[in-house]
Amino acid sequence: MNKERREFIKNSCTLCAGVLGLSALLPSLQSCVSIHTLALEPVNNSFHVPTNSFIENSNVVIINNKTLAYPIAVVKSTSTYRAFELKCTHQDNGLGVSNTGFFCNMHGSNYDLHGKVLTPPASRNLKEFKTNILSEQIVVYIS
């Protein structure tokens, strides 16, 4: 094989690998948006999340507090808000969060942003907390 032909094959394969690698990465990049985590104190068994807490292109805000066994995800859907405990319903493991859903690294369960199980072994949907809107605040009732 002559030198030019070897260079052509080497460059073509490098380009293909780059394109294939990038295309494989694109779906994960689309959900790779920052998610705001708020350290809040409870007020009368509820958390108050300002409605402007959501980072641009993100529809999830996380509430964290030392009194919580697991953080809470507040999910924005148009003008409604829902809140879910970030605890896997399979064996009580903490969940990871993206802007497309929740996932458990222990055995691979996945949930959508409505807390619904998409992938077993979990069989129950996520625990949901009641929410209400009061004066530009999303109130999440924890009891």
Residues forming contacts to ligand FES in the complex (CB under 6 A) are 88, 90-91, 93, 104, 106-109, 121-122
Residue 87 near residue 95 (C-beta atoms within 8 A): yes
Nearest approach, Cβ of residue 87 and ligand FES (Å): 9
Q: Which two tokens stand for residue 46?
A: 């509820």
Nearest approach, Cβ of residue 21 and ligand FES (Å): 29
In the complex with ligand FES, the residue whose CB is nearer, 30 or 91, is 91
In the complex with ligand FES, the residue whose CB is nearer, 36 or 107, is 107
Region of residue 2 (left: phi > 0; alpha: psi -120 to 50; beta: else): beta
Q: If 0-12 CB within 10 Å is exposed, 13-18 middle and 19+ buried, where does residue 104 land?
A: buried
Q: Which two tokens stand for residue 61?
A: 């805000």
Distance CA 94, CA 103 (A): 9
In the complex with ligand FES, the residue whose CB is nearer, 40 or 95, is 95
Distance CA 48, CA 39 (A): 11
Nearest approach, Cβ of residue 41 and ligand FES (Å): 29
Nearest approach, Cβ of residue 102 and ligand FES (Å): 10
In the complex with ligand FES, the residue whose CB is nearer, 53 or 110, is 110
